[in-house]
Amino acid sequence: MRRQNFRSYGGSFAWGGVVLFVGVVLLLDHMGVISAAGLWRFWPMILVLAGIVNLLDECKRIWGVCLLLAGILLQLGQFGLVHVTWALLWPILIIGVGLSLMWGSIKARKSMDERGDVVTGPGALNELAIFSGVEKRIMGKNFRGGRLVAIFGGIEIDMWQAEMDGDTAIIHVDAIFGGVELRVPDTWMVSSEGQGVFGGYSDSTHLRPLTDANETRKTLVVRGMALFGGVEIRN
């Protein structure tokens, strides 16, 4: 938790410095102290900084390498040292998406192995949507977690009538140029630990008070990455 807070504060500080620098440059340009026209050729350095910030986060290092490489190539192009086109950058983006998926799969498997989570067999939820859509309703009484991956597609999972086997279940959700929607019971507590890269995780759930004194609160942990996509969790 300390490392996560440190990465969050570090990223906010870095981006705050970028905004501050741009504001100062615009102010000085308006006052006639400097000419900002010649500084715009250094705009790819924003991508370089974004890459460095993402390298500090273990979950985003692959994406950080891609941003860093793209920023360096674009900056060299601004200097006229190389000829950079979008036809060159798109393959880098595709490579980054592939590496991010592979890295996410490795991290998910490692996390599940360390915690002893059951991700196959009865009670497991594993869905993959590539240029397609998946819509499923889960009504079982032994939900134990799993993994959802949407690539240029969408996944809708309705777990409103599901029951969890145990007090905690972990589900890894990756949305790459796609979207995933989870509907969970309002008695489940949701811990959203997903990372958004030009995308985001939205937790719109609310907790209903427990009516039975012997009833325990279940916790659903949602992890993964939203790259140019979105993940929404709601009741």
Q: Does the predicted model carry a pTM greater than 0.85?
A: no
Question: DSSP label at 57?
Answer: S
From 107, 130, 163, the end of a domain falls on 107
Does a structural domain hold residue 102?
yes
* 116 close to 191: Cβ distance less than 8 angstroms: no
Mark whether 96 and 128 lie in a shared domain: no
Which domain, by its residues, includes 53? 2-107
Based on the fold, state whether residues 127 and 218 are members of the same structural domain: yes
The structural domain count of the chain equals 2
Domain match, 146 and 94 both: no
Q: Which of 80, 107, 134 is the last residue of a domain?
A: 107
The answer to whether residues 103 and 12 belong to one domain is yes
Same domain for 64 and 125, yes or no, is: no
**Predicted local distance difference test score (pLDDT) of residue 155:** 95
Q: Give dist(CA 64, CA 29) in Å, integer.
A: 31
| CA separation for the pair 196, 175 (Å, rounded) | 9
CB 49 within 8 A of CB 18: yes
Distance of alpha carbon 129 from alpha carbon 102, whole angstroms: 16
DSSP summary character for residue 143: B
Do 135 and 225 lie in one domain? The reply is yes
User: What is d(CA 4, CA 110) in angstroms, rounded to the nearest whole number?
Assistant: 18
pLDDT of residue 119: 52
Contact (Cβ atoms closer than 8 angstroms) between residue 48 and residue 14: no
Which residue blocks in 44-115 are alpha helix, DSSP H? 44-55, 61-78, 86-115
CB 183 within 8 A of CB 213: no
> What are the tokens at 182?
């989870």
- Tell me, yes or no, whether 55 and 160 share the same domain: no
Q: Which residue among 50, 76, 107 closes a domain?
A: 107
List average pLDDT for each run of 10 residues in the chain, which is 235 residues long.
47 67 80 74 81 70 76 83 74 73 64 51 83 91 88 93 88 90 92 81 86 81 86 92
